[in-house]
Chains A and B, each alone.
Chain A
């Protein structure tokens, strides 16, 4: 597909080797999103789609609008204009509660875990299982084990360890497990590997892959192009508040292409035709 003049972005049909996303209806669509803060136009007619069983990397330089887009999807910011569709159905997202009700969970960079509580207690914080008026520890513990096992987590010794005793990667794991525990459909991860070492990064990336295999729509915000190419099915690049590309990752996708998209808004045939306004 040749991007003609006046066609600011390229949208290709998603292609999946593992074939678990034959369903072409996106899990979540944000269409024509605009957002201004005072005189600053932060999001320009952004169309963003999250597909089931797919890892979409959201890349862009600092200030490109990634975080704002995520916050709009998570219901923290209200867009000035634009609409949402969940599985094809028009939906309103008027607050974080709406977002979590329709199955959107965000794992923020500062993981927001209680260090004094153990893994089970953190996973169920604010949504405890109650039986006859009291906490049902055994039900929560069992479900925590099952969730961690379904994510293929093998590095946590005991689900009753306090979070204070966990490594950075393990904490990331707990935060991610917390997001998927509630049958969520879309999980958005804000730079999950930024503070991790090599081995721990591998673990978290494996976890990201595993979530997509389990059918979730995963959005991965990352500055690390190696990570992106390793784990993502699609890359959505933002440049100066516009979504300039939404492309499938193939064997020919290179780090250089992605860096060009991020720094100049275009790369060869890809990206915006008018990189700056």
Chain B
């Protein structure tokens, strides 16, 4: 090299051809078998991701399906289950932003509760839009407060959010008064959890969704240096399409009981609502500078700081987003029962949200996790009570009569699932060098 001032010649043609040979192993995926081998290799390397959650869903669905086929496997229970899972999923997505930083938010459930209470009380006097805006602002403010305490004051998030559990519960009690509850009459809020898309809209949504996924994969394929083979692409789109068509076919058939006055059919609105959130947050996490920096801060704050990232600002932003998302989760909670009381977001919701993210495969140690994990973990934690209730009371050899639908059994199962998931997280971390 003769030009001593230009540093490295990284745009030269020579480098291009060298790159191709030096990184020949970089893109070994040329067919389906190669893709499968690559996936198995990643799992062996300790990148379990959401695999344990997928396994858990398969096992739970099989066991409950075998124990009570006609109730558990019915279309009405599928819709019911999705609606039960939705609020936990959204609050788990909120908690994921704290977890990605390596922090925790124990009070996300109460952030949801306070936001829901603001929404319900405002709706008594105000129209829809200002009420929603107010609820969102309050959720953002609560998140910003947590972020300030953690990132600027420097209190561990565990302590801050533990204090928040009491603080926010107090606010919630003041808003709805002890023993009271605030009813919601606003149809838009009531329909969020409970109403369905029409059959035509359901199919349109599925068609657009699958088409968008296919187009996205094809665009990525065009832009890539070494494109993924068509066979892998077709299998991916085919699997999604088949699953979506199957679920939609089940849910667009009438699922009302035989003597019901009106038929119930169509995709529950929570499905598109949650999916839109997942897609938006995925784009934010994986396609923007903010998302990249969030992962970096969670992985190694010192490295992030040296790379010129404003670590405090990222932490503040993540907790603020956590608050806003928890607030949206609050709307789901309120919509499910069409009212808000002092227990909205309290008790098990609070803990299930943290549990769902972790069970889905989001690491408690920061820097690893995706939005889809919250969805899968939420499914696991919603499947447990849903299935156990339907199993009912049974005689089990050695144990005698067991009331599977009781809260005791449900709590024990959910707790065991969380412990199991965190063990997988801790052990898979130990495996990577």
Residues of A within 8 A of B (CB): 20-21, 23, 27, 52-53, 87, 103, 112-117, 121, 125-128, 130, 133-135, 138, 141-143, 145-151, 153-154, 156-160, 162, 164-165, 167, 180-185, 211, 213-216
Contacts and interface: CB of A to CB of B under 8 A. Distances in A.
Contact of A147 (B8, B288, B293, B367): B8
State the 4 A-B residue pairs at the shortest beta-carbon distance, nearest first. A126-B307, A52-B4, A116-B367, A116-B299
A158 B5 contact: no
Contacts of B25: 157-158
Contact of B296 (A23, A114, A156, A160): A114
Nearest to A129: B289
B289 A149 contact: no
B45 A121 contact: no
Given A165-B433, A183-B7, A215-B4, A146 B307 contact: no
A116 B25 CA distance: 21
B308 interface: yes
Contact of A158 (B23, B304, B309): B23
A128 B288 CA distance: 9
A215 B40 CA distance: 43
Contacts of A150: 8-10, 12, 15, 18
A215 B308 CA distance: 26
B186 interface: no
A185 B299 contact: no
Interface in B302-346: 302-304, 306-309
A140 to B, nearest CB: 10
B125 to A, nearest CB: 39
B425 to A, nearest CB: 13
B16 A146 contact: yes
A114 B4 contact: no
Interface in B16-47: 16, 18-19, 22-23, 25-27, 45, 47
Nearest to B291: A135
A154 B27 CA distance: 15
Given A130-B289, A142-B225, A214-B1, A115 B7 contact: no
Secondary structure call for the A interface? loop
Secondary structure call for the B interface? loop
Interface in B99-121: none
Contact of A112 (B8, B9, B300, B366): B300
B309 A126 contact: yes
Nearest to B303: A112
A112 B306 contact: yes
A149 B15 contact: yes
9 contacts: A87-B5, A121-B292, A142-B19, A159-B23, A160-B26, A162-B47, A165-B45, A185-B5, A213-B1
Looking at A103, A117, A125, A141, which has the most chain B CB atoms within 10 Å of its CB? A125
A128 B308 CA distance: 11
Contact of A181 (B10, B23, B47, B367): B10
Contact of A117 (B7, B18, B47, B299): B299
Contacts of A52: 4-5
B225 A116 contact: no
Contact of B433 (A147, A154, A164): A164
B217 to A, nearest CB: 14
Interface string B132-152: 000000000000000000000
A138 B304 CA distance: 22
Nearest to A185: B7
A184 B7 contact: yes
B22 A215 contact: no
Contacts of B18: 149-150
B292 A214 contact: no
B18 to A, nearest CB: 4
Contacts of A114: 295-296, 299-300, 303-304, 367
A157 B300 CA distance: 23
Nearest to A126: B307
Nearest to B305: A112
B385 interface: no
A141 B27 CA distance: 12
Contacts of B299: 114-117
Contacts of A115: 299-300, 367, 432
A130 B18 CA distance: 26
B1 A20 contact: yes
B22 A154 contact: yes
Contacts of B8: 147, 150-151, 180, 183, 211, 214-216
A88 B299 CA distance: 41
Interface in B199-235: 223-225
A103 B298 CA distance: 29
B6 interface: yes
B3 interface: yes
Contact of B304 (A125, A167, A211): A125
Contacts of B286: 135
